[in-house]
Amino acid sequence: MQVKNLFRSLAIAFLALLAILTIIGILRRDHNGWTESEKALILRQDSLMNVTLMPKDSAILRSKAAELTPRMLRSRETKELVAKMLYTVRHPSQDGVGIAAPQVGISRRIICVQRFDLPGDPFKACLNPVIDTLFGEMAPGREGCLSIPDKRGIVTRHQGAVLSYTDAETLEYHRETIEGFTAVIVQHECDHLDGILYTDRADSLWTVSD
Terminal Cα distance for the chain, rounded: 77
| The pLDDT value given to residue 158 | 98
| The pLDDT value given to residue 13 | 63
Enclosing H/E stretch for 6: helix 2-27
Rounded to an integer, the average pLDDT of 79-83 is 98
- Within this chain, do residues 56 and 5 fall inside the same structural domain, yes or no? no
- Within this chain, do residues 4 and 102 fall inside the same structural domain, yes or no? no
Q: How many angstroms separate the most distant Cα atoms in the chain?
A: 80
* Confidence label for 209 from pLDDT (cuts 50, 70 and 90): confident
* Confidence label for 24 from pLDDT (cuts 50, 70 and 90): very low
- Within this chain, do residues 18 and 71 fall inside the same structural domain, yes or no? no
- Within this chain, do residues 51 and 141 fall inside the same structural domain, yes or no? yes
- Within this chain, do residues 99 and 169 fall inside the same structural domain, yes or no? yes
Looking at per-residue pLDDT, the higher value among 14 and 75 belongs to: 75
- Within this chain, do residues 187 and 149 fall inside the same structural domain, yes or no? yes
Task: Give the structural domain span for 130.
Answer: 34-207
Please count the structural domains in the chain. 2
Please state the pTM of the whole predicted model: 0.84
Q: What is the mean pLDDT of the chain?
A: 91
Residue in 153, 155, 173, 172 with CA at minimum distance from that of residue 164? 173
Which residues are catalytically annotated? 189
* pLDDT tens digits along 145-175: 999 999 999 999 999 999 999 999 999 999 9
Asked if residue 179 has pLDDT above 80, the reply is: yes
- Within this chain, do residues 38 and 128 fall inside the same structural domain, yes or no? yes
Residue 106, SS3? coil
- Within this chain, do residues 22 and 40 fall inside the same structural domain, yes or no? no
- Within this chain, do residues 92 and 154 fall inside the same structural domain, yes or no? yes
Q: The dihedral of CA 166, 167, 171, 175: what is its sign?
A: negative
- Within this chain, do residues 192 and 103 fall inside the same structural domain, yes or no? yes
**CATH code for the domain in which residue 79 is found:** 3.90.45.10
- Within this chain, do residues 91 and 178 fall inside the same structural domain, yes or no? yes
- Within this chain, do residues 59 and 118 fall inside the same structural domain, yes or no? yes
